[in-house]
Amino acid sequence: MTQLITLGEFIIARQHEYPEAKGELSQVFGAISLASKVVHREINKAGIANITGDVGNENVQGEQQQKLDVYANETFKAALANRGLICGMASEEEESYVEFTHELTKGSRYIVLIDPVDGSSNIDVNVAVGTIFSIYRRKSPPDTPLTLDDFLQKGTEQVAAGYVIYGSSTMLVYTTGNGVNGFTFDPSLGVYYLSHADMQVPENGRIYSVNEGNYIHFPKGVKRYIKYCQEIDPETQRPFTSRYIGSLVADFHRNLLKGGIFIYPSYAGHPEGKLRLLYECNPIAFIAEQAGGRASNGSKRIVDLQPTELHQRTPLFVGSPLMVKHMERFLEAEEAALSA
Ligand code: AHG
Ligand code: MN
Ligand code: MN
């Protein structure tokens, strides 16, 4: 009989990989896992529990806040703050970072960046949404006030990153820089079990994921790559397959398992695209690279970008390494043509 390993057991078994963390990181995962179960419960009764719809105000980025955005933000914040595990958090749903001043947080060295509900426009229509998180060590000394620079760290500094996908089942996928592992939630027991050990993205794939409705606004290199995807592939005698859910987590997760590329480029009037560097692109990029994939803004690794603002955006090309490289070649060719 195969032995089932729970997320808690797995984290403890791997604790030696980050000895300097003295178990703190394991507890941060414990808090995130607990909050994700609460959010899972709310999402699963979304149709009957008056939790769908918007709250009537906009977040700092001018987007309609859904009730679940606010609920999930508060849930993750409470789980992380009340245990004194981390000293601060920044979220898509809050304009500035939040510093935790609870007595218990004294000496704590970690900060969290989070997109509490990713793909929130999909909640009301019962389509998969997610949570994305990223954990860093603070740069300023413990027990001094946090600074913005503690949050504006490059993705290469991530200690851990992960996402939860609330899909046909709920899964938690994370990395601490030693590969990527996925856990499936058993709601009857309230436990995550290891279901996807050492996840690897296929080197190449046949799925492209992009909001093609914006095609007219895309840079030429992206347009040409999309046209290339739509040509007959000599090997299969078929064009590539287009799949786009509109939740980054769900689109990325599918491509991670099946092989593919996720594209959110710059578009007319939006040179930095839509997705946020700190709590969407960096954690996804860390996971992608740890699974053997590639993540870039078209020319540079996402994790090498120096953030200058909390809610900064960046174009994102992520997934199977050969597909992302191929996409980059189309963009390079466009650059070369422009400067010729
Ligand atoms: P969020 O719900 O956290 O604001 O993120 C939505 C993001 C991302 O999940 C998705 O990939 C993208 O927005 C979809 O945008 P379009 O509707 O422009 O395709
Ligand atoms: Mn998002
Ligand atoms: Mn969100």
Domains of the chain: 7-196 (3.30.540.10), 207-339 (3.40.190.80)
Mention every residue, 6+ apart, whose C-beta is less than 8 A from residue 125: none
Which atom of ligand 1 lies nearest, measured to the CA of 247?
Answer: 9
Residue 44: its H or E element: helix 24-44
| pLDDT class of 34 with cuts at 50, 70, 90 | very high
pLDDT of residue 52: 67
Ranking 18-22, 202-206, 242-246, 248-252 by mean pLDDT, the lowest is 18-22
Residue whose CA is at the smallest distance from ligand 1 atom 2 = 119
User: Distance between CA 130 and CA 194 in Å, rounded?
Assistant: 18
With CA atoms as reference, report the closest residue to 120 among 112, 129, 111.
129
| Centroid of ligand 1 to alpha carbon of 274 (angstroms) | 8
Average pLDDT over residues 220-247: 95
Strands, E assignment, the chain: 54-58, 64-66, 88-91, 98-99, 110-118, 129-137, 160-166, 170-175, 180-186, 191-196, 207-209, 241-242, 260-264, 294-296, 316-319
Q: Which ligand lies nearest the alpha carbon of 251? A: 1
Best of 113, 121, 122 for a ligand 1 pocket test (most atoms within 8 Å of beta carbon): 121
Tell me what percent of the residues of the chain surpass a pLDDT of 90: 79
**Gap from CA of 262 to ligand 1 centroid (Å):** 12
Does ligand 1 come within 6 angstroms of the Cβ of 119?
yes
> Is the distance from CB of 117 to CB of 32 less than 8 angstroms?
no
**What is the best residue among 264, 284, 316, 317 to mutate for testing ligand 1's pocket, by most ligand atoms within 8 Å of CB?**
264
Q: Pick the residue whose CA is nearest to atom 11 on ligand 1.
A: 248
Is 244 touching ligand 1 by the criterion CB < 6 Å? Answer: no
